[in-house]
Amino acid sequence: MAISPLCLLVLAGLLGSLATEDLQKKVFVFPTASNSAAVFLKAPIQQPLTSFTVCLRYYTLLTRAYGLFSYATRRNSNELLLYKFNPNQYSLYLGGSNVSFNLPEMQGSQSDWEHICVSWDSATGLVELWVDDHLLPRMGMKKGYSINPEASIVLGQDQDSFGGGFDINQSFVGEISDVYMWDRVLTADEVNLVWNDLRVDNSLIDWRDLDYETRGYAVLHPPVFPSY
């Protein structure tokens, strides 16, 4: 029986939107520095965001700067960006502004997997950064702002334009896992659940049901030692 082109189109569309995967106990490995390796994530964000939480786990030996979570819009490549200038400094960019959290000095590079959650709330402007189960002193930015929903979301690279503009010197080299995003600020108890790899429902990005596409040399793989 002949299948009409329209039928195929509809089918392709369905498959496209259904191609999500449970990545529990898997990691994305970014094995080398490049300006091409990236993982693009899709999130069903329909409305401007007035709060969010992003959590992920990663392991790297980099001591230079790199992007960890890059959410670009057509107007602003740093609409929402979690960036590390060095092993002791996390920066959050939001709509063109930034705040930096300076951690106590670590010797050299990171010695194990690290879990982080970062959240922001427009009503107060407060930014919370959790490193493992530790909440750093809160900072504030962009009170009253809302985040544009039409985004290109990328792991492994810092976008300097919508969906591209990658710089090898800001690429991530290492392993990333357990990426989640919610449209609200998680409570301390919820952050603790996520840290322990337990479920907090209703996420926009869900590692257990991930809509993603890898490009370049990025490898989905089981972790060598499931040490977390």
Ligand X SMILES: *[C@@H]1O[C@H](CO)[C@@H](O)[C@H](O)[C@H]1NC(C)=O
Q: In angstroms, what is the minimal distance from the CB of 82 to ligand X? A: 13
Number of residues in contact with ligand X, rule: CB under 6 A? 4
CA dist., res. 192 & res. 181, Å (int): 15
Please report whether residue 121 would count as binding ligand X according to CB under 6 A: no
Expressed in angstroms, the distance from the first to the final Cα of the chain is 52
Please report whether residue 211 would count as binding ligand X according to CB under 6 A: no
Q: Which range in 115-123, 125-133, 167-175, 203-211 contacts ligand X by CB under 6 A?
A: 167-175
Query: What is the Cα Rg of the chain in Å?
Result: 18
Q: In angstroms, what is the minimal distance from the CB of 97 to ligand X? A: 6
Q: Which of 168, 188, 193, 219 binds ligand X (CB under 6 A)?
A: 168
Contact 72, 161 (CB under 8 A): yes
Per-residue contact flags (x/-) with ligand X for residues 14 to 53, judged by CB under 6 A: ----------------------------------------
Please report whether residue 167 would count as binding ligand X according to CB under 6 A: yes
Longest CA–CA span in the chain (Å) reads 68
Using CB under 6 A, which residues numbered 85 to 114 contact ligand X? Answer: 98
CA dist., res. 128 & res. 121, Å (int): 9
Q: Which range in 19-27, 120-128, 162-170, 180-188 contacts ligand X by CB under 6 A?
A: 162-170
Q: Within 10 Å of residue 97's Cβ, how many Cβ atoms?
A: 12
Please report whether residue 169 would count as binding ligand X according to CB under 6 A: yes
Contacts with ligand X by CB under 6 A lie at: 98, 167-169
